């Protein structure tokens, strides 16, 4: 399968990566080493790093990739070489048709950099070799003309034996394409990334540069929320005619605008089309124009109308639908796109501290595409706790002794929750309506029941058993946490594979992790898993503080809710 959007090796190879459900890490690395995408564009410098901040959006995380040989081994015969008298090659990050990207040390200023070594087959005619080298010079010129934080910085071009070695900043992160292998993005996170890419494109267009290859593999998600657009190797620079496309097809077919397929002169709207395809892919989990081979993909770009976005709604859906208009004259301007993405990325207003919001904010889970409500955030919750304690003692009266049965006919289950807990249900336009959340007035304790239906599981994300589902989640919690649960890497997990439900196999897990508040106060999450005989997967999760007075109460709520869960058709 071709992973670069070009033609595959066989007739039926896909022309793009195919999104896969999250997979357990079979060999998590405690200290991730640099890894690279197989392509040798600037994105090949991607390095796996632990996420630095507990933000509810993707951060660079290690993923299973082909292992690179350690620097200095026989597999890296060039390691240790000094290029241009200052760049010491340390180890390969990746390679492809245009070159090899090295992690290197600039010995003059004592910093690590990424160095792209030009590599072309020796059998190529001299003219084609010269074109390849000129393309690399053009990549450096295009990026060097831009002054924007979302564009990779080019430090130097060292010419060695007539060949240009491009010296760039070393960006620690993962490509968006790699992140999408774990699942789709929520609307707010997709909009945030889209805004950064849009900024890079606006800077490029203002400098007379068209990128012409905007796709997930060329978008790096770095540390500290940085988004970087990379690989200007096929960029078109206004006024630069020294290198032309002599019948060759450049770019990734499913991300190329229709006017480029037709051979018309592209403009900034062509790059914006590609951004629209990226946003559709990131939120919907499928590429709208991908087909089994390149000709079919190009035909779909010209003629196919993708299904309206299901996961994206409101301003983000308007952006996607507008950018995918076949006629570039009818696509929204960059200013309009920025305004809509800003609105889509804006966090919801927090509820008042003295009472729950009538329509609490939601976050979309990338793991199974479901919508869940996880509380108003630590600061608001703390304020609510203070206000609530003035009004009532949480350990006396009905809040402790009173329990209520809550039939959830749409989920085929009945929950037992403390009397007085508030309820949140899906909105009518939510793509996943198979959940319900109850929470206490403080916001400190919540419980949520989610049902993954086998009939809707086209991507086979439901595991073969409750135990398998629990262990799959457990690996994720330990290696990278869960952004949709506001969870950093778990400091402790206690899997229970012996749990049962009415004599049938079930599973539980108790997870302790640092909270996402300023003080990183520890949280505890207890999750119960049960797979029905028809293949549906129930998950009942209860979250509460891991320390303090509310810990005992939270554990009591979890124990009672799990023990009394009633499933209509187990």
Q: What share of the chain is helix, strand, coil (3-state, %, to 5)?
A: 30, 25, 50
Structure-block tokens of residue 202: 């606006």
Three-state DSSP class for residue 379: helix
Place of tokens 């070393």: 170
Residues linked to residue 529 through DSSP beta bridges, in sequence order? 507, 539
Closest CA to 81 of 147, 134, 18, 158: 158
Instruction: Tell me which residue has tokens 């959006």.
Output: 57
CA distance 365 to 237: 40
Return the residue matching tokens 């807990």. 421
CA 472 to chain centre: 18
What contacts 317, CB < 8 A, 6 or more positions away? 308, 309
Token reading at 230: 């990379």
Quote the CA–CA distance of 424 and 438 in Å, as a whole number: 6
Query: Measured between alpha carbons, how far is residue 240 from residues 141, 232, 488, 540 in Å?
Result: 11, 14, 48, 60
| Active-site residue flag, 213 | yes
Under 8 Å between Cβ of 118 and 164? yes
In angstroms, the CA 475 to CA 182 distance is 13
DSSP strands (E only) in 402-476? 403-408, 413-418, 422-424, 435-439, 446-452
- Are residues 288 and 277 in contact, defined by beta-carbon separation less than 8 angstroms? yes
489: left (phi over 0), alpha (psi -120 to 50) or beta: beta
- CA angle (126, 130, 136) in 5-degree steps: 150
Q: Whole-angstrom Cα distance, residue 221 to residue 86?
A: 28
Residues 6+ apart with CB under 8 A from 294: 6, 7, 15, 253
Q: Cα–Cα distance between 399 and 515 in angstroms, integer?
A: 25
The answer to whether 116 is annotated as binding is: yes
Contact 279, 170 (CB under 8 A): no
Return the C-alpha torsion angle 84, 89, 93, 98, nearest 10: 30
Nearest CA among 357, 378, 558, 379 for reference residue 486: 378
E strands present in 39-86: 82-83
Of the candidates 63, 66, 101, 96, the one whose C-alpha atom is nearest the C-alpha of residue 83 is 101
Angle between helices 314-323 and 334-345 (to 10 degrees): 150
What is the distance between the alpha carbons of residues 40 and 190, in angstroms, rounded to a whole number? 25
The residue from 213, 440, 484, 516 that is catalytic is 213
Give the Cβ contact number of residue 393 at 10 Å: 10
Residue positions forming the annotated binding site for ATP: 116
Q: Which residues does the annotation mark as catalytic?
A: 213
Residue positions forming the annotated binding site: 116
């Amino acid at each position: 399968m071709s992973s670069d959007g070009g033609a595959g090796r066989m007739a039926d190879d896909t022309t793009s990566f195919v999104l896969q459900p999250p997979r357990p890490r079979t060999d998590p690395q405690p200290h991730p080493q640099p890894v690279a995408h197989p392509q040798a564009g600037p994105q090949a410098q991607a390095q796996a790093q632990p996420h630095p901040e507990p933000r509810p959006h993707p951060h660079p995380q290690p993923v299973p990739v082909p292992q690179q040989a350690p620097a200095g081994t026989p597999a890296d015969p060039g390691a240790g070489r000094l290029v241009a008298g200052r760049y010491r090659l340390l180890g390969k990050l990746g390679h492809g048709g245009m070159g090899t990207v090295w992690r290197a040390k600039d010995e003059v200023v004592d910093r690590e950099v990424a160095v792209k070594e030009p590599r072309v087959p020796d059998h190529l005619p001299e003219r084609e070799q010269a074109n390849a080298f000129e393309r690399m010079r053009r990549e450096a010129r295009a990026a060097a003309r831009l002054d924007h934080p979302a564009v990779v910085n080019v430090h130097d071009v060292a010419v060695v034996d007539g060949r240009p070695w491009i010296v760039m900043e070393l960006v620690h992160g993962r490509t968006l394409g790699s992140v999408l292998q774990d699942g789709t993005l929520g609307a707010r996170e997709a909009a945030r990334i889209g805004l950064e890419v849009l900024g890079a494109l606006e800077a490029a267009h203002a400098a007379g540069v068209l990128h012409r290859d905007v796709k997930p593999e060329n978008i790096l998600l770095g540390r500290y929320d940085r988004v970087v657009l990379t690989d200007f190797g096929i960029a078109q620079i206004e006024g630069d005619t020294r290198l032309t496309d002599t019948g060759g097809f450049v770019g990734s077919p499913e991300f190329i605008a229709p006017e480029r397929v037709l051979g018309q002169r592209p403009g900034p709207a062509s790059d914006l089309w590609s951004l629209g395809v990226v946003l559709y892919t990131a939120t919907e989990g499928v590429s709208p124009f991908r087909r089994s081979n390149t000709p079919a993909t190009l035909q779909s770009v010209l003629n196919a109308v993708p299904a309206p976005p299901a996961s994206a709604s409101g301003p983000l859906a308007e952006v996607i639908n507008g950018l995918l208009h076949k006629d570039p004259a009818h696509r929204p301007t960059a200013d309009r796109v920025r305004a809509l993405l800003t609105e889509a990325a804006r966090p919801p207003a927090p509820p008042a501290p003295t009472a729950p919001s009538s329509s609490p904010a939601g976050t979309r889970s990338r793991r199974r595409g479901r919508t869940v409500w996880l509380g108003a955030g630590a600061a608001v919750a703390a304020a609510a706790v203070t206000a609530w304690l003035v009004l009532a003692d949480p350990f006396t009266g009905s809040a402790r002794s009173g329990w209520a049965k809550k039939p959830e006919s749409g989920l085929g289950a009945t929950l037992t929750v403390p009397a007085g807990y508030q309820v949140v249900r899906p909105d009518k336009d939510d793509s996943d309506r198979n959940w319900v959340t109850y929470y206490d007035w403080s916001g400190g304790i919540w419980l949520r029941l989610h049902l993954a239906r086998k009939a809707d599981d086209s991507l086979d994300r439901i595991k073969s058993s409750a135990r398998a589902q629990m262990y799959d989640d457990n690996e994720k919690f330990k290696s990278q946490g869960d952004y949709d649960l506001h969870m950093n890497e778990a400091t402790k997990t206690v899997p229970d594979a012996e749990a049962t439900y009415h004599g049938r196999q079930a599973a539980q897990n108790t997870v302790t992790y640092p909270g996402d508040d300023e003080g990183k106060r520890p949280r505890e999450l207890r999750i119960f898993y049960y797979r029905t005989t028809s293949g549906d997967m129930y998950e009942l999760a209860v979250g509460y503080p891991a320390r303090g007075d509310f810990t005992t109460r939270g554990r009591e709520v979890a124990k009672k809710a799990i023990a009394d869960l009633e499933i209509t058709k187990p």
